[in-house]
A and B are shown apart, each in its own frame.
Chain A
Amino acid sequence: MLELRLVQGSLLKKVLEATKDLVTDANFDCSATGFSLQAMDSSHVALVALLLRSEGFEHYRCDRNISMGMNLNNMSKMLKCAGNDDIITIKGDDGSDTVTFMFESPNQDKISDFEMKLMDIDSEHLGIPEAEYHAIVKMPSSEFQRICKDLSSIGDTVVISVTKEGVKFSTRGDIGTANIVCRQNKTVDKPEEATIIEMNEPVSLTFALRYLNSFTKATPLSESVTVSLSSELPVVVEYKIADMGYIRFYLAPKIED
């Protein structure tokens, strides 16, 4: 028996919008820790890891660990039927091949339930080791989104370099080149507007902008984003989900052929 009641149902709607274009099918894992997901895109270049901790739910009942295979496009279709202010409850029974999403309007005058078919997904779970990163950049998520979008109109890849000067995003394409440098800036009104660069060692890595642009669909989940870089490691782009957990995207770098 599984019953998870999320008062801020819009979070789940936003999570689906952030993941459904990257991953088609995924197993949602439910345990005492929380509701989680780990899935790779079809080309095994990018990975999404989601955690919504059990404490973040108003009611969290998960009698035993359960994995539910869902088609994210279909799940998104169902969650789009929930209002932004609705409370969402996820219900499942042991051995059942369906999951139920229940939506309650804030004043309880409308209650809907949508039953979705589950699927068997043979997913590869990767072990992601804890790593020391050479540089960690925290910046406003809207700024990161803007940079990725702007650069993708010029080139297909971005070189992200962190030095003591700041973080530089560079691209080149048929029409020319572009460089955007963001310097550390802590003198802002709100902490989420700050750009904070922690650098242990300078680092420079190349990534496909197509994937980074896809990651920025998580922007509505958090006002700031953390980009962790280490040479010879996939970049981690993390959006914290207030009081609940995170959505992290991993992307393998491109190397000189």
Chain B
Amino acid sequence: TCKQQKLSAFFGCK
């Protein structure tokens, strides 16, 4: 099975 990652795991808040 594959787990969907979230964008917050890569990009920080501005």
Contacts and interface: CB of A to CB of B under 8 A. Distances in A.
Interface string B1-14: 11111111111111
Contacts of A129: 11
Contacts of A256: 1-3
B4 A252 contact: yes
B14 A257 contact: no
Interface stretch (A44-52, A105-113, A181-189): A44-52
Nearest to B10: A234
Interface string A241-255: 000000000101111
A206 interface: yes
Interface in A17-57: 40, 43-47
B5 A124 contact: no
Given A45-B4, A157-B2, A257-B1, A252 B9 contact: yes
A40 B2 contact: no
A115 B14 CA distance: 31
A252 B2 contact: no
Contacts of B9: 252
Contacts, number: 58
B7 A125 contact: no
Contacts of A125: 13-14
A196 to B, nearest CB: 26
Contact of A257 (B3, B6, B10): B3
Contacts of B10: 232-234, 252
Nearest to A44: B6
B3 to A, nearest CB: 4
B11 to A, nearest CB: 4
A206 B2 contact: yes
Contact of A126 (B1, B2, B4, B7): B7
A252 B6 contact: yes
A214 to B, nearest CB: 14
A255 B14 CA distance: 26
A108 to B, nearest CB: 42
A234 B11 CA distance: 9
Nearest to B1: A257
A47 B11 CA distance: 11
Interface of B: 1-14
**7 closest A-B pairs (Cβ-Cβ)?**
A254-B2, A126-B11, A127-B14, A252-B5, A125-B14, A257-B3, A257-B1
Given A45-B5, A125-B14, 20 more contacts: A40-B7, A44-B6, A44-B7, A45-B7, A46-B7, A47-B11, A126-B7, A126-B8, A126-B11, A126-B12, A127-B11, A127-B13, A129-B11, A157-B2, A206-B2, A233-B10, A234-B11, A253-B5, A255-B2, A256-B2
